[in-house]
């Protein structure tokens, strides 16, 4: 099972820039998309034009037009779909789960989009609440020893090796101690695995996000904030992982790069 997670930075813009062709050429079994920023009809039309028209789609729009939106798109039919997460996040377009049957196993695919936050503001408090809700949901999965992967733009660099200018970002949202502590708990206490880091080895990088501005991309001054976090059972069958970084700035179709993982299911 090849799973690709990608913050498309707007599905219409990604399609215009060649992103859907890139995703199709990568031959996924499942696509987990963030910042879709489109209604169901628009998303379906774009997927159809890229050859995914007969795939199963679980999509939740953001409550504000043109913001957020996440989707799980799979070649296999969805056994069950769940939208939203505990707390006040059901209508924000930031969490969707789809169960698919792979062989004799049920695998839960999650597409998540955590907002950026801002240190010392209510927006940061809301971000912490979302991360806490993730912890509660993820603890339920590991308690059941299920096969699951939480993918997406989580907007947190876990360690110093996960962003180029970590010293300059101390005290800023995306690299705050309480944010990073959520990841520590997921890994150390709940047993979830950062698949890309586990397979790629120590950093720095490889990064998954670079600002559109300046020379950030050319200088590889990025952040690793896009993840595939596998439950213990699924992590045991993860085989390869890579970042689909564009060869040049001109070939970028999003400010994020996809993360591609193959699982031996």
Active-site pick, 196, 256, 262, 263: 256
| Residue 9 counted as an annotated binding residue | no
Instruction: Given the residues 113, 147, 227, 263, select the one marked as catalytic.
Output: 113
Choice among 29, 153, 226, 262 that is catalytic = 153
169 is in an annotated binding site: no
Which pairs with CB-CB distance under 8 Å and at least 24 residues apart come from 236-243? 237/263, 237/264, 237/265, 238/193, 238/195, 238/198, 238/199, 238/262, 238/263, 238/264, 239/199, 239/263, 239/264, 240/199, 241/195, 241/196, 241/198, 241/199, 241/200, 242/200, 243/196, 243/206, 243/207, 243/208
Residue 256 labeled ligand binder = yes
Strand partners, 194: 229
CB 207 within 8 A of CB 163: yes
Q: Determine whether the annotation assigns residue 158 to a binding site.
A: no
Task: Note if 256 is an active site residue.
Answer: yes
Q: Which residues contact 96 (CB under 8 A, 6 or more apart)?
A: 58, 59, 60, 70, 71, 72, 81, 82, 83, 84, 110, 111
Is 7 labelled as part of a ligand binding site? yes
Q: Is 78 a catalytic residue?
A: no
The response to whether 91 counts as a known ligand-binding position is: no
User: How many CB atoms are closer than 10 A to CB 44?
Assistant: 17
Q: Is residue 218 annotated as a catalytic residue, yes or no?
A: no
State the binding site for Mg(2+): 7, 35, 153, 155, 255-256
Active site residues: 113, 153, 256
State the binding site: 7, 35, 153, 155, 255-256
């Amino acid at each position: 099972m090849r799973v690709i997670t990608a913050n498309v930075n707007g599905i219409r813009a990604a399609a215009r820039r060649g992103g859907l062709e890139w995703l199709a050429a990568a031959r996924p079994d499942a696509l987990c998309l963030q910042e879709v920023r489109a209604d169901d009809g628009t998303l379906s039309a774009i997927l159809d034009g890229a050859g995914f028209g007969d795939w199963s789609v679980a999509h939740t729009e953001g409550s504000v037009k043109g913001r957020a939106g996440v989707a799980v798109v799979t070649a296999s039919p969805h056994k069950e779909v769940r939208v939203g997460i505990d707390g006040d996040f059901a209508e924000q377009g930031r969490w969707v789960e789809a169960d698919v049957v792979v062989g004799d196993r049920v695998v839960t695919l999650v597409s998540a989009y955590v907002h950026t936050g801002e240190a010392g503001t209510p927006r940061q408090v809301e971000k912490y609440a979302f991360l806490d809700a993730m912890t509660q949901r993820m603890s339920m999965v590991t308690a059941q020893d299920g096969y699951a992967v939480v993918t997406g733009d989580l907007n947190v660099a876990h360690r110093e090796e996960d962003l180029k200018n970590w010293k300059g970002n101390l005290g800023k949202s995306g690299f705050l101690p309480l944010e990073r502590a959520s990841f520590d708990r997921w890994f150390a206490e709940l047993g979830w695995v950062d698949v890309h880091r586990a397979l790629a080895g120590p950093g720095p990088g490889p990064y998954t996000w670079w600002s559109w501005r300046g020379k950030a991309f050319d200088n590889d001054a990025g952040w690793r904030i896009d993840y595939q976090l596998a439950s213990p059972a699924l992590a045991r069958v993860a085989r390869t992982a890579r970042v689909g970084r564009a060869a040049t700035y001109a070939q970028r179709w999003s400010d994020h790069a996809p993360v591609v993982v193959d699982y031996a299911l």
